[in-house]
Structure 1
Amino acid sequence: MKKIFSVAAVALFMQTAVFAQTTYKVDKAHSRVTFTITHLAVSDVDGVFKDFDATMVAEKADLTDAKVNFTANTASVNTDNDKRDGHLKSEDFFDAAKYPTLAFVSTGIKPAGAGKFKLAGNLTLHGVTKPVVFDMLARTGVNPMSKQPVTGLKVTGTIKRSDFGFGSKYGSPMLSDEVTIAANGEFAKTN
Structure 2
Amino acid sequence: MKKVILSLAAGLFSLASFAQTWSLDKAHSNVGFSITHMMISDVDGSFKTYDAKLTSTKPDFTDAKFEFSAEVNSINTANDMRDGHLKSPDFFDAAKFSTVSFKSTSIKKGKGQNYTISGNLTMHGVTKPVVLKAVIKGPVENPRSKKPMMGISATGTVNRIAFGVGTSGATLSDDVAIKISGEFNKD
TM-score, length basis structure 2: 0.91
The aligned counterpart of 1:80 is 78
The aligned counterpart of 1:51 is 49
The percent of aligned pairs where both chains have the same amino acid is 48
CA distance in 2, matches of 1:188, 1:12: 26
The aligned counterpart of 2:158 is 159
Conserved? CA contact 2:15–2:58, under 8 Å:
no
CA distance in 2, matches of 1:104, 1:125: 9
CA distance in 2, matches of 1:20, 1:71: 25
Letter in 2 for 1:64: T
RMSD: 2.1
- 1:133-153 Cα deviation digits (max 9, x unpaired): 000000012211111111100
The aligned counterpart of 1:107 is 105
Letter in 1 for 2:92: F
- 1:52-102 Cα deviation digits (max 9, x unpaired): 000000111111111100000000000000000000110011111100111
Once the two structures are TM-superposed, the CA of residue 172 in structure 1 deviates from its matched residue by 3.5
CA shift in 2, pair 1:88/1:112, >3 Å: same
The aligned counterpart of 2:181 is 184
Conserved? CA contact 2:135–2:154, under 8 Å:
yes
CA distance in 1, matches of 2:100, 2:57: 27
- 1:112-147 Cα deviation digits (max 9, x unpaired): 210101100000000000000000000012211111
Unaligned ranges ≥5, structure 2: none
CA distance in 2, matches of 1:160, 1:129: 12
Counterparts of 1:25-36 in structure 2 under 5 Å?
25-36=23-34
Letter in 1 for 2:144: M
Once the two structures are TM-superposed, the CA of residue 185 in structure 1 deviates from its matched residue by 0.1
Letter in 1 for 2:55: V
Corresponding residue SS for 1:27? strand
The aligned counterpart of 1:174 is 171
The aligned counterpart of 1:22 is 20
CA distance in 1, matches of 2:122, 2:16: 29
Unaligned ranges ≥5, structure 1: none
Conserved? CA contact 2:18–2:59, under 8 Å:
no
CA distance in 2, matches of 1:64, 1:181: 22
TM-score, length basis structure 1: 0.89
Among candidates 32, 41, 48, match of residue 39 of structure 2? 41
Q: Which protein is richer in strand relative to its size?
A: 2
